[in-house]
Amino acid sequence: MTTTTEQPTRRLNTAKAMVEAIAAEMERDENVFVLGEDVGAYGGIFSSTTGLLDRFGPDRVLDTPISETGFIGAAIGAATEGLRPIVELMFVDFFGVCMDQIYNHMAKIHFESGGNVTVPMVLMTAVGGGYSDGAQHSQCLWGTFAHLPGMKVVVPSNPADAAGLMTAAIRDDNPVVFMFHKGIQGLPWMAKNRRSVGPVPTGDHVVEIGKAATPRPGSDVTVVTLSLSVHHALDVAEELAGDGIDAEVIDLRSIVPMDTEAIIESVTRTGHLVIVDEDYQSFGLSGEIAARIAEHDPTILKAPISRVAVPDVPIPYARPLEYAALPTPARIKAAILQQTGR
Amino acid sequence: MTTTTEQPTRRLNTAKAMVEAIAAEMERDENVFVLGEDVGAYGGIFSSTTGLLDRFGPDRVLDTPISETGFIGAAIGAATEGLRPIVELMFVDFFGVCMDQIYNHMAKIHFESGGNVTVPMVLMTAVGGGYSDGAQHSQCLWGTFAHLPGMKVVVPSNPADAAGLMTAAIRDDNPVVFMFHKGIQGLPWMAKNRRSVGPVPTGDHVVEIGKAATPRPGSDVTVVTLSLSVHHALDVAEELAGDGIDAEVIDLRSIVPMDTEAIIESVTRTGHLVIVDEDYQSFGLSGEIAARIAEHDPTILKAPISRVAVPDVPIPYARPLEYAALPTPARIKAAILQQTGR
Amino acid sequence: MSASMEAQVRRDLFDQMVLIRTYEEAVLREYHADKKPAFDIGAGLIPGEMHLSAGQEPVAAGVCAHLTTDDAVTATHRPHHFAIAHGVDLQAMTAEIFGRVDGLGKGRGGHMHLFDPATHFSCSGIIAEGYPPAAGQALAFKRRGTDRVAVAVTGEGAANQGAFHETLNLAALWKLPVVFIVEDNDWGISVPRSASTSVADNAARAASYGMPGVRVEDNAVEAVYAAAGEAVERARNGGGPSLIEVHTLRLWGHFEGDAQGYRADLEGVPGKDPIPTYEAVLLEQGVIDDAAVAASRKNASEVVEAAIAFAKASAEPDPATVLDHVFA
Amino acid sequence: MSASMEAQVRRDLFDQMVLIRTYEEAVLREYHADKKPAFDIGAGLIPGEMHLSAGQEPVAAGVCAHLTTDDAVTATHRPHHFAIAHGVDLQAMTAEIFGRVDGLGKGRGGHMHLFDPATHFSCSGIIAEGYPPAAGQALAFKRRGTDRVAVAVTGEGAANQGAFHETLNLAALWKLPVVFIVEDNDWGISVPRSASTSVADNAARAASYGMPGVRVEDNAVEAVYAAAGEAVERARNGGGPSLIEVHTLRLWGHFEGDAQGYRADLEGVPGKDPIPTYEAVLLEQGVIDDAAVAASRKNASEVVEAAIAFAKASAEPDPATVLDHVFA
Ligand SMILES: Cc1ncc(C[n+]2csc(CCOP(=O)(O)OP(=O)(O)O)c2C)c(N)n1
Ligand SMILES: Cc1ncc(C[n+]2csc(CCOP(=O)(O)OP(=O)(O)O)c2C)c(N)n1
Ligand SMILES: [Mg+2]
Ligand SMILES: [Mg+2]
> How many distinct helices (H) and strands (E) make up chain A?
12, 14
Average pLDDT score over residue span A128-136: 98
Band the pLDDT of A193: cuts 50, 70, 90.
Answer: confident
Count CB atoms within 10 A of the CB of residue A6: 7
How far, in Å, are A232, B64, B123, C260, C262 from residue B39 at the CA level? Answer: 51, 8, 13, 14, 12
d(CA B52, CA B22): 9
pLDDT digits (tens, 9 = 90+) for B86-130: 999 999 999 999 999 999 999 999 999 999 999 999 999 999 999
Assess D321–A contact: CB distance below 8 Å, yes or no.
yes
Closest residue by Cα to atom 8, ligand 1, is C127
Evaluate whether C64 touches C85 at the Cβ level (below 8 Å): yes
For the residues D17-45, what does the mean pLDDT come to?
A: 96
How far does Cα A163 stand from its chain's mean position? 12
Indicate if the pLDDT at residue B1 is higher than 80: no
**B281-285, B325-329, D33-37: least confident range:** D33-37
Nearest-CA neighbor of A235 among A270, A276, A264? Answer: A276
Ligand approaching nearest to the C-alpha of B63: 1
- What ranges make up the beta strands (E) of chain C? 72-75, 121-123, 150-155, 178-184, 187-188, 191-192, 213-216, 242-247
* Ordered strands of the A152-154 beta sheet: A61-63, A32-36, A84-91, A122-127, A176-181, A152-154, A254-256
Query: What pLDDT was estimated at residue D36?
Result: 86
Q: Is A2 a residue whose pLDDT tops 70?
A: no
Nearest Cα neighbor of A98 from A127, A128, A72 is: A72
Q: Is the pLDDT of residue D14 over 90?
A: yes
Which residues fall within 8 angstroms of residue D155, CB to CB, at 6 or more apart? Answer: D76, D78, D127, D182, D183, D184, D185, D188
pLDDT above 50 (res A1): no
Protein residues whose CB sits closer than 6 Å to any atom of ligand 2: A 37, 66, 68, 90, 94, 97; D 77-78, 125-127, 154-158, 183, 185, 187-189, 250, 254
Residue D246 β-bridge partners: D183, D216
Under a CB-based contact definition with an 8 Å cutoff, are residues D302 and D85 in contact?
no
Average pLDDT over residues D236-259: 97
Mean pLDDT of C35-39: 91
Name the band, by pLDDT with cuts 50, 70 and 90, for residue B242. very high
D4 pLDDT band, cuts 50/70/90, is low
Contact residues on chain B for C321, CB-CB shorter than 8 A:
321
Which residue is catalytic, options B105, B110, B137, B181? Answer: B137
Contact between residue C89 and residue C118 where contact means Cβ atoms under 8 Å apart:
yes
Tens of pLDDT, residue by residue over D91-140, are 999 999 999 999 999 999 999 999 999 999 999 999 999 999 999 999 99
Burial class (CB in 10 A: 0-12, 13-18, 19+), C302: exposed
Domains contained in chain C, CATH given = 7-314 (3.40.50.970)
Which is nearest to C39 in space by CA: A284, B190, A6?
A: B190
Contact yes or no for B298/A301 (Cβ under 8 A): yes
Number of H helices, E strands in chain D: 9, 8
Beta carbon pairs, A and B, within 8 Å = 178
Q: What are phi and psi of A324, to 5 degrees?
A: -75, -25
Q: From the alpha carbon of B98, which atom of ligand 1 is closest? A: 1
Lowest mean pLDDT among B14-28, C9-23, C169-183, C256-270: C256-270
Angstrom CA distances, A59 to A276, C5, D190, stand at 41, 41, 18
Closest of A313, A312, A314, A307 to residue A332, by C-alpha: A307
Probe residue for ligand 1, chosen from C77, C165, C246, C249 as the CB with the greatest number of ligand atoms within 8 Å: C77
D2: pLDDT strictly greater than 60: no
Query: Which of D223, D242, D225, D184 has its CA nearest to residue D66?
Result: D225
Q: Which atom of ligand 2 is nearest to the CA of A137?
A: 25
- For residue A86, the cross-strand partners are A34, A122
Considering A105, A110, A137, A272, which one is annotated as catalytic?
Answer: A137
Question: Do the Cβ atoms of D47 and D97 come closer than 8 Å?
Answer: no
The ipTM, to two decimals, is: 0.98
- Is residue B5 scored above 90 in pLDDT? no
**CA D103/CA B80 separation, integer angstroms:** 19
Question: Long-range contacts made by residues B216-219, C-beta under 8 angstroms, separation at least 24?
Answer: B216/B247, B216/B248, B216/B249, B217/B248, B218/B246, B218/B247, B218/B248, B218/B249, B218/B270, B219/B246, B219/B248, B219/B269, B219/B270
Helix (H) or strand (E) holding C33: helix C7-33
Mean pLDDT for D213-237 is: 98
**C274-281: long-range pairs with CB below 8 Å, 24+:** C274/C17, C274/C55, C274/C57, C274/C58, C274/C219, C274/C221, C274/C248, C274/C249, C275/C17, C275/C18, C275/C21, C275/C57, C278/C13, C278/C14, C278/C17, C278/C58, C278/C221, C279/C14, C281/C2
Show Cβ contacts of residue D9 under 8 Å, excluding neighbours closer than 6 positions.
Answer: D65, D225
In angstroms, what separates the C-alpha of B42 from chain D's closest C-alpha?
A: 20
> Measured between alpha carbons, how far is D3 from B209 in angstroms, rounded to an integer?
63
Is C41 close to B320, i.e. CB distance below 8 A? no
The pLDDT tens digits of the residues spanning D268-290 come to 999 999 999 999 999 999 999 99
Query: Is there a contact between B110 and D328 if contact means CB atoms under 8 Å apart?
Result: yes
Element (H, E) at A36: strand A32-36
| Distance in Å, CA D186 to ligand 4 centroid | 5
Distance from CA of C161 to the nearest CA of A (A): 11
pLDDT at A94 over 50: yes
The predicted pLDDT at position A286 comes to 98
Identify the pLDDT of residue A6: 64
> C200-204 long-range CB contacts below 8 Å, 24 or more apart?
C201/C245, C202/C156, C202/C159, C202/C243, C202/C245, C203/C243, C203/C244, C203/C245, C204/D207, C204/D208
Average of pLDDT values for C109-130?
98
Ordered domains of chain B (ranges, CATH): 9-207 (3.40.50.970), 213-339 (3.40.50.920)
Residue D213 has pLDDT above 70, yes or no: yes
B23 Cβ under 8 Å from any chain C Cβ? no
In angstroms, the CA C48 to CA C44 distance is 9
Give the pLDDT score at D264. 86
Taking the CA of residue D78 as reference, the ligand 2 atom at the shortest distance is 21
End-to-end CA distance of chain B: 41
Strands B197-201 and B176-181: unpaired
| Interface contact C135, partner A, CB < 8 A | yes
Interior/surface letters B264-303, b for 16+ CB within 10 angstroms, e for the rest:
bebbeebbbbbbbbbbbbbbbbbbbbbbbbbbbebebbeb
Collapse the DSSP code of C116 into the 3-class scheme (helix H, G, I; strand E, B; otherwise coil) and give the result. Answer: strand
Kindly report, residue by residue over D187-203, the tens digit of the pLDDT: 999 999 999 999 999 99
* Catalytic-residue membership of B272: no
Average pLDDT, chain B: 97
Indicate yes or no: pTM above 0.95: yes
Q: To the nearest 10°, the Cα dihedral for C169, C173, C178, C183?
A: 20
End-to-end CA distance of chain D: 49
Which whole number is the average pLDDT over A283-292?
Answer: 98
pLDDT digits (tens, 9 = 90+) for B244-276: 999 999 999 999 999 999 999 999 999 999 999
Q: Does position C36 have pLDDT exceeding 80, yes or no?
A: yes
Q: Is the pLDDT of residue A88 over 70?
A: yes
The phi, psi pair for D74, rounded to 5°, reads -115, 125
Nearest by CB: D113 against A93, A94, A135: A135
pLDDT surpasses 90 at D29: yes
Both ends of chain C: CA-CA distance in Å? 49
pLDDT above 90 (res C4)? no
